[in-house]
């Protein structure tokens, strides 16, 4: 945890050296809207799925992981993997009540030094063309996140292909928290390149750090459909790596404010004080305890 906190502090200092002005575009001037109770509750199954990804693969494969599994009791696991170190835990399965294949990635395991090193490796690099065919080399991502995603990508793709066929569905939902959110966003770019065009995607992630450069954020906005990245109160993780280092968030932010209102923040890195970038200008005004939640009552990395 010390390594992670030091890395976040270093990145925050770098990001604060250049204070970006609000982008004067129509998109960022759109009204910030408050989510209804029904809109908030619709996210809750995915919060439990994201939290379950912290559980050992042997348990998620049996769907016997305590509170998180009980919350989505009809889920049918297909595959799981990872070692919680160099390769984060992951699992794939099918939820009949939602009629979707679910892909979930474990977040940062603070007991694993290797996982912390993945977070500390924040240099931008082009995506592997063998995994991301046709993607421009100008689209760059956090090299540590990309290296970690590459380890599980082929196994996850194979499991998703099998689950789509077995359960006769065309829907895929991708979720994760923290580092798992970053891996999920990369999967949201990767999987559509290898699955039939008829496949539809939803991506719901929590505590997402910035994953790539401006070209990456623009690509996500243009090609990743139905994306929400949910930030809790004054969580400092979503403001790193800094924009001064060339990192940018895509659109789709939902921010849980201190009064527990959930708001939709239009545009990329919306600087309104109702959104995470404006509310948490640097990690020194952030609260790392907010990172694990609660997200509508769900605490990440608990209940296994």
Per-residue b or e along 176-200, where b marks 16 or more CB atoms closer than 10 Å to that residue's CB: bbbbbbbbbbbbbbbbbebbeeebe
The encoded tokens of residue 137 equal 């080399």
The encoded tokens of residue 155 equal 């196994």
Other CB atoms within 10 A of residue 85 CB? 16
Other CB atoms within 10 A of residue 62 CB? 11
What is the structure's pLDDT at 120? 57
Q: Which of 20-24, 82-86, 124-128, 160-164 bottoms out in mean pLDDT, i.e. has the lowest?
A: 20-24
Domain ranges of the chain: 46-290
Catalogue the E-assigned strands of 169-233. Answer: 171-177, 200-206, 227-232
Cα dihedral across residues 218, 220, 226, 232: positive or negative: negative
Parallel, antiparallel, or unpaired: how do β-strands 100-105 and 171-177 relate? parallel
What is the structure's pLDDT at 50? 98
Residue predicted with more confidence, 22 or 191: 191
Q: If residue 253 lies in a helix (H) or strand (E), which one and from where to where?
A: strand 253-256
Q: Alpha-carbon distance 291 to 295, whole Å?
A: 10
Output the average pLDDT for the chain: 88
Per-residue pLDDT reduced to its tens digit, 4-52: 333 444 344 344 333 333 443 444 446 899 999 999 999 999 999 999 9
Other CB atoms within 10 A of residue 10 CB? 16
Reply yes or no on whether 187 is catalytic. no
Reply yes or no on whether 291 is catalytic. yes
Q: If residue 166 lies in a helix (H) or strand (E), which one and from where to where?
A: helix 143-166
What is the structure's pLDDT at 85? 81
State the burial class of residue 155 (Cβ atoms within 10 Å of its Cβ: 0-12, 13-18, 19+).
middle
What is the structure's pLDDT at 174? 98
- What is the arithmetic mean of pLDDT over 295-304? 92
User: In this structure, are residues 266 and 255 in contact, taking their beta carbons and an 8 Å threshold?
Assistant: no
63: left (phi over 0), alpha (psi -120 to 50) or beta: left
Residue 159 φ/ψ, nearest 5 degrees: -65, -40
Per-residue pLDDT reduced to its tens digit, 234-265: 999 999 888 988 999 999 999 999 999 999 99
- Cis amide leading into 30 (omega within 30): no
State the burial class of residue 143 (Cβ atoms within 10 Å of its Cβ: 0-12, 13-18, 19+).
middle
What's domain 46-290's architecture? 3-Layer(aba) Sandwich (3.40)
- Cis amide leading into 294 (omega within 30): yes
What is the structure's pLDDT at 37? 97
User: In this structure, are residues 206 and 52 in contact, taking their beta carbons and an 8 Å threshold?
Assistant: no
Catalytic residue, from 178, 251, 264, 272: name it.
178
The encoded tokens of residue 12 equal 């925050």
What is the structure's pLDDT at 121? 54
Token pair 């929400």: residue: 228
Residue 193 φ/ψ, nearest 5 degrees: -75, -15
Catalytic residue, from 95, 187, 235, 279: name it.
235
């Amino acid at each position: 945890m010390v390594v992670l906190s030091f890395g976040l502090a270093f990145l925050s200092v770098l990001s604060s050296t250049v204070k970006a002005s609000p982008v004067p575009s129509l998109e960022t001037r759109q009204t910030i809207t408050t989510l209804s109770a029904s809109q908030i509750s619709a996210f809750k199954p995915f919060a439990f799925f994201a939290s379950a990804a912290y559980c050992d693969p042997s348990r998620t494969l049996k769907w016997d992981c305590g509170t998180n599994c009980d919350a989505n009791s009809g889920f049918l696991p297909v595959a799981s993997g990872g070692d919680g170190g160099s390769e984060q835990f992951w699992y794939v399965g099918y939820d009949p009540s939602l009629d979707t294949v679910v892909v979930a990635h474990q977040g940062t395991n603070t007991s694993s030094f290797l996982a912390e090193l993945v977070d500390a490796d924040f240099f931008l690099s082009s995506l592997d063309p063998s995994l991301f065919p046709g993607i421009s080399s100008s689209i760059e991502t956090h090299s540590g996140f990309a290296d970690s995603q590459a380890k599980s990508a082929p196994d996850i793709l194979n499991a998703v292909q099998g689950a789509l066929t077995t359960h006769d569905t065309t829907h895929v939902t991708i979720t994760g928290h923290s580092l798992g959110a970053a891996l999920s966003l990369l999967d949201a770019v990767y999987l559509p390149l290898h699955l039939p065009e008829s496949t539809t995607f939803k991506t719901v992630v929590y505590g997402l750090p910035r994953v790539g450069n401006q070209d990456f954020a623009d690509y996500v906005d243009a090609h990743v459909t139905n994306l929400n990245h949910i930030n809790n109160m004054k969580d400092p993780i979503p403001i790193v790596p800094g924009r001064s280092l060339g990192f940018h968030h895509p659109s789709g932010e939902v921010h849980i404010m201190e009064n527990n209102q959930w708001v939709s923040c239009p545009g990329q890195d919306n600087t309104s004080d109702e959104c995470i970038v404006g509310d948490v200008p640097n990690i020194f005004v952030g609260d790392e305890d907010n990172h694990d939640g609660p997200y509508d009552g769900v605490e990440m990395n608990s209940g296994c």
